[in-house]
Amino acid sequence: MDVQSGFKFTTIAKILVVLSAVWAIGRVGLSTIPGISSAADNAFGWPFNELSQYSAFSATSPVGSILFTLMGRNDPRIFLGLHVVALVVAVLAMLWWVKLMTPRSTRLMAFRLVFLSPWVALLLIFLGSYDPFTVIGFVLLLLAWKTSKPVLVLGASFLLGFQHFEQSFFAVIAAFLTAIALRERLPAGYIQPKQFVFALSGLVFGKLALTLILTLSSSSGAFGRSAFWSAEWLRMSLVTSVNFWAVLFLSLFAGSWGLVVATSLSVQRRQQFLLLAAFLLCLIPALITLDHTRVFVMSSVMALSIITVAFARSSETFKSKESIYVEVLAWVIVPISVWVGMDATPYLHPVGSLDQLIIFYNQLVSL
């Protein structure tokens, strides 16, 4: 390839990165979590705010609530703006980690796969949720693992344990299994067993610190997520999982299924078992929770990001046709979300982007 052709190819690739970012928003629209004004009220004043038993789970994912409280003004518009900023930071931080982990020749392709991943779509359709702060923690741990410095691994995992121990516990183990399965395609020494142990230790310390604060403050947040663990909630979750199994299965990775399948088929049987174990580890909590897709997607953010990097670093392993299929599927398949309301009604999050944008505008005006 001559210099002029190479320049033209790079320019087209950069344009596609911009278009993938625009398409990531355009294909799903923007929407907030239900009752964002109530969510702002619940967040402001952490950890001393009074919460009902079934909203107390928000107190156990407190990073956004702490920042919102420090701003000193209980305004739902500020609350929403804070979470939009966190979303942007989460995506940019992930792109930075991908940049450090991938060769220049396939970096832009990896950027596009990040923008078109299901976790970005999930953050866009649930603006105001605590998920962006959790993703920032995920990226910090991915970066810490790259440095191989125990103090950074402990610090990042402590933040994750403090922010959302349950999701992070599954996410860290799934990421470790994925990295072990694909270690030949990752930088040498990425995520050693010792670093994995440091990460688990940090998660536990973070959770203990959060529990101590909530206990000393006598906060209703001490109920945490345990309020949802009952036979009735479990029945509702499993029934929806079975009734909507096909849609739920597609929603887990959405367009990234092509990336996951292509990478899994390109490795040996033992590595495939490790990848399957990582998948099942994320799937189990998703099937027994009310937020099926959301829980799986969040639990698999780190593992999917590692797969993206491994795919970009070993692009020569795949035929050009396979690489095209992987990216086309990422563009074409529109992410959706399957979840169950507290009234036991199952929901498939709508993907009519124009409708969602109009509704989102009306929500902003009414705040």
Interatomic CA distance for residues 53 and 250, integer angstroms: 33
Going from the C-alpha of 280 to that of each of 171, 200, 242, 275, the distances in angstroms are: 11, 19, 16, 9
Maximum CA extent, the chain: 68
From the list 289, 293, 288, 307, the residue with the least C-alpha distance to 348 is 293
The span from the CA of 286 to the CA of 27, in Å, is: 24
pLDDT in tens, 118-165: 999 999 999 999 999 999 999 999 999 999 899 999 999 999 999 999
Tokens of 181: 């399965």
Determine the Cα–Cα distance for residues 353 and 26; give it in Å rounded to an integer: 6
Tokens 């505008």 correspond to 361
Q: Per residue in 141-157, is it b (16+ CB within 10 Å) or e — as a string? A: bbbbbbeeebebbbbbb
User: Which stretch of DSSP H or E encloses residue 347?
Assistant: strand 346-348
Mark out the alpha helices in the chain (DSSP H runs).
Answer: 3-26, 36-43, 63-71, 76-101, 104-115, 118-125, 131-147, 150-181, 193-216, 231-243, 245-253, 257-265, 269-287, 292-299, 301-313, 320-332, 353-366
Contacts 24+ apart (CB under 8 A), 197-202: 198/150, 198/153, 198/154, 198/157, 199/141, 199/145, 199/153, 199/154, 199/156, 199/157, 199/172, 200/157, 200/169, 200/172, 201/154, 201/157, 202/153, 202/154, 202/155, 202/156, 202/157, 202/158, 202/160, 202/161
What is the C-alpha R_g of the chain?
20
Distance from C-alpha of 191 to C-alpha of 331, rounded to nearest angstrom: 30
Closest CA to 86 of 127, 44, 133: 133
Q: Any idea of the CA torsion for 207, 42, 123, 177, to the nearest 10 degrees?
A: 10
Residue 85 domain boundaries:
3-366
> What pLDDT, in 10s, does the model give residues 341-357?
777 677 777 556 666 77
Helices 301-313, 150-181: axis angle to 10 degrees equals 70
pTM of the model: 0.93
CB 269 within 8 A of CB 355: no
| Contact indicator for 281, 300 with CB cutoff of 8 Å | no
76-134 residue pLDDT tens: 999 999 999 999 999 999 999 999 999 999 999 999 999 999 999 999 999 999 999 99
Q: Is 2 buried (19+), middle (13-18) or exposed (0-12) by CB count in 10 A? A: exposed
d(CA 324, CA 315): 11
What integer pLDDT is reported at residue 64 of this predicted model?
96
Q: What is the pLDDT of residues 325-342, one digit of tens each?
A: 999 999 999 999 998 877
CA–CA separation, 108 vs 124, rounded Å?
22
**pLDDT value of residue 18:** 96
Q: 348 phi and psi, to 5 degrees? A: -110, 115
pLDDT attached to residue 155: 97
Q: Is residue 236 over pLDDT 90?
A: no
Burial of 258 (0-12, 13-18, 19+ CB in 10 A): buried
**pLDDT computed for residue 229 by the predictor:** 65
The DSSP 8-state label assigned to residue 348 in this structure reads: E
- Give how many domains the chain has, as a whole number: 1
User: Region 292-306: what's the mean pLDDT?
Assistant: 96
Instruction: Report the pLDDT value the prediction gives residue 291, as an integer from 0 to 100.
Output: 87
